[in-house]
Structure 1
Amino acid sequence: MVLFIRQTHSVKDCFVQTAVMCPYSLPLCQSHACPRRTYVASGVVPHMPGCRGGQLWLKANITQKERYRVELYFQQNTILGQKITYDAQDRTKVVDKSLLKMLPESSPWRTDGQLGRCTVVGNGGILKNSGCGSKINKADFVISYPNLKKQPKPLADRMSNYGNAPLIMPAFAFLFCTTISFQVHQALHPLHLQQKVLFFNPNYLRELHRYWRKRGQRAPRLSSGLMLVSVALELCEEVNLYGFWPFNFDLSQEQLPHHYYDNVGPHRGSHSMPKEFLQLLNMHSKGAINLHIGKCQ
């Protein structure tokens, strides 16, 4: 999983996104005063009136004991000799000088729920030819995990397309992730690009897995999509989703590829995409997120 969080507007910007949401100058709990529609099959996902927004949903659904923050490694929160326990493998790594030097001094963004309106872009085939690019880019921040392997240009050229978006990697999920993550950092660092390469704290991913497991997600591992939706719910005031659709047909019964860039399905038994999608539908119906699954134009 490679995660980009790129800023597209000043958080202070406020505008109307036609036929999708209210202007966000309204307080969260007054949003029901502004009618809106979402691109969801009629009768399947009723949008309940009342408060919406990820922060309110978290307050209603996570007790103080369960509450957590998106945790990344920085020099400010990491010390030499610290032991890192891997998230998905029975392995540990001790922080040495070379690892500590890789880490940025501090977080590149605020982590107090003030990123404004965010869009999480999944890789579902429903995104292909959807015409949603301009709507996605109207968000204050865009969170995505593009498939860089499918692009022929050199890595540095591909990365430059994302401006100053931090690149977040699960370096301590599996051993092979460590090798890849360190190689990416070593390749990009000498080029002095705007992006910072950041590493997830595996404790955060572990707690995230436990949280969703308590709520019925029993697959061996959460999908990258659900992880990033969780990140957005913690960092953003409003969360919109595009490209989340686990089926091989759309609402018009037209065939779809698994991803917008290929038709390769997930490894059998690793994720439970339909069940995760039902969770997203439930969150949408309660106003925690805005799930968009139709064409935008």
Structure 2
Amino acid sequence: MCTTARSLQMDLFKWIFGLLIVLVIYTCLYLTYCGKHEMMGSEMTDRFKLLNCMKLHQKFSNITSANSIDMMNVIGNLSAFMSCLHVTNRTQKELHRLRLRFCCNGTDLLYLTKKNTAVNQSIAYETSNRVYKVGAALHKMLPEDFPWSRRGHLGRCAVVGNGGILKNSSCGREIDSADFIIRFNLAPINDSDVGVKTDLVTINPSQLSADYRNMAENPDPLVRRVSVYGNASLMIPAFAYTHCTAVSVKTLQVLQPIRPQQPVVFFSPYYLKTLDCFWKGLGLKEKRLSTGFMLVNMALELCDDVHLYGFWPFDISLKQQTLQHHYYDNKPPKPFMHAMPEEFVRLLQLHSQGALTLHLQPCL
């Protein structure tokens, strides 16, 4: 009886053990089968994404006019395109650098200096045939030369536009990590969305006339406003229009004795004229280039890598949410002055070519 019971127990144990081995083998085979199919599915997904990115790349490279953009139709595709891996193209960067240096030479002519401007020289205005004669007093206040003539290329540059797309973007830290940071029209700065570091900031003469008309008698408001940018250079288009000159020169006269560490410089109207002719030759038709677009071109010539933030001229985001015009207010632009959607199309083309990086989504 005991022998029979033991024999039955042994047979049962062998049967259970064999069953476990079979289950283990089938489990391994099943997991291997599923893993292979999961891998195949992942590979198929990656290939689909790659093909879609290639199609989108081709699509946005071929857009030639903002008039051809149906925003509601394009937004979904553009959002997907911005999620694609962006690869910079060193050849395209050098090509654009050489073209801009040959046509416009921002390296030596971006703004007036003692080196590129002589006493009693007649400067032709950007937008008219009238001229301004540079006197000895003004010439004495011009900077000696460009700081980047000694530094070479400016490294990684962040050009920060004022578009409403920057509000709640959390891009401040990323922007501040750049080597050289350009801002416009005394735009407010903050840690969270746009950063605080600044190397160059522009001032519109209309801002000076409207907000600081009594600067000679009471310079404190203007001094407080510009001091938030540290020692950043303040760039003014003093010779764009004849009415810009007096207030621009007055600003230089007021600020230089008080803040000598913060240069006030004047756009060269010759540089702006040649840059305007360059882009008109490429089919960009507008009354005058925007300041943002001007300095993107300066960055393409002088920087190793150009990153653009806040360049979005539309009132709806990639998530189809309504945007205010600027990240700090909703004041609309002057009509019939700039063609910013057309400029954006050119920036999108440059992004597609790998010549610069356009940031249109919140930063991580």
TM over 0.5: yes
For 2:355 and 2:309, the matched residues in 1 are separated by: 15
Q: Percent identity?
A: 44
Q: How many residues align?
A: 257
Aligned equivalent of 2:288, options 214, 221, 225: 221
Whether contact under 8 Å (1:130, 1:294) holds in the other structure is: yes
Give the match for residue 195 of structure 2.
none
Give the match for residue 277 of structure 2.
210
Q: Where in structure 2 are the equivalents of 1:98-247 lying within 5 Å?
A: 98-110=137-149, 114-147=153-186, 154-247=221-314
Give the match for residue 56 of structure 1.
94
Give the match for residue 85 of structure 1.
124
Which letter does structure 2 place at the counterpart of 1:133? Answer: G
Give the match for residue 39 of structure 2.
none
More relative contact order, 1 or 2 (CA 8 Å, 6+ apart): 1
Q: Secondary structure at the match of 1:156?
A: helix
Q: Secondary structure at the match of 2:106?
A: coil
Q: Can you give the 5+ residue segments of structure 2 that lack an aligned partner in the other structure?
A: 1-77, 188-206, 213-219
For 2:101 and 2:319, the matched residues in 1 are separated by: 43
Between 146-155 and 117-126, report the one with greater CA deviation: 146-155
Between 181-190 and 69-78, report the one with greater CA deviation: 69-78
Structure 1 residue 84, shift from structure 2 partner: 0.3
Aligned equivalent of 2:133, options 71, 94, 118: 94
Q: Can you give the 5+ residue segments of structure 1 that lack an aligned partner in the other structure?
A: 1-39
Give the match for residue 41 of structure 1.
79
The structure with the largest alpha-carbon Rg is 2
For 2:286 and 2:83, the matched residues in 1 are separated by: 24
For 2:311 and 2:159, the matched residues in 1 are separated by: 9
Give the structure-2-normalised TM-score. 0.65
For 2:316 and 2:362, the matched residues in 1 are separated by: 13
Structure 1 residue 189, shift from structure 2 partner: 1.3
Structure 1 residue 211, shift from structure 2 partner: 0.7
Aligned equivalent of 1:260, options 327, 343, 356: 327
For 1:173 and 1:277, the matched residues in 2 are separated by: 22
Between 184-193 and 207-216, report the one with greater CA deviation: 184-193
Structure 1 residue 194, shift from structure 2 partner: 1.7
Give the structure-1-normalised TM-score. 0.79
Which letter does structure 1 place at the counterpart of 2:106? Answer: R
1:65/1:235 Cα in 2 relative to 1: closer, same or farther (>3 Å)?
closer
For 1:188 and 1:277, the matched residues in 2 are separated by: 34
Whether contact under 8 Å (1:54, 1:236) holds in the other structure is: no
Between 258-267 and 115-124, report the one with greater CA deviation: 258-267
Give the match for residue 277 of structure 1.
344
For 2:90 and 2:184, the matched residues in 1 are separated by: 25
Q: Secondary structure at the match of 1:110?
A: helix
Structure 1 residue 163, shift from structure 2 partner: 1.8
1:53/1:119 Cα in 2 relative to 1: closer, same or farther (>3 Å)?
farther
For 2:91 and 2:172, the matched residues in 1 are separated by: 22
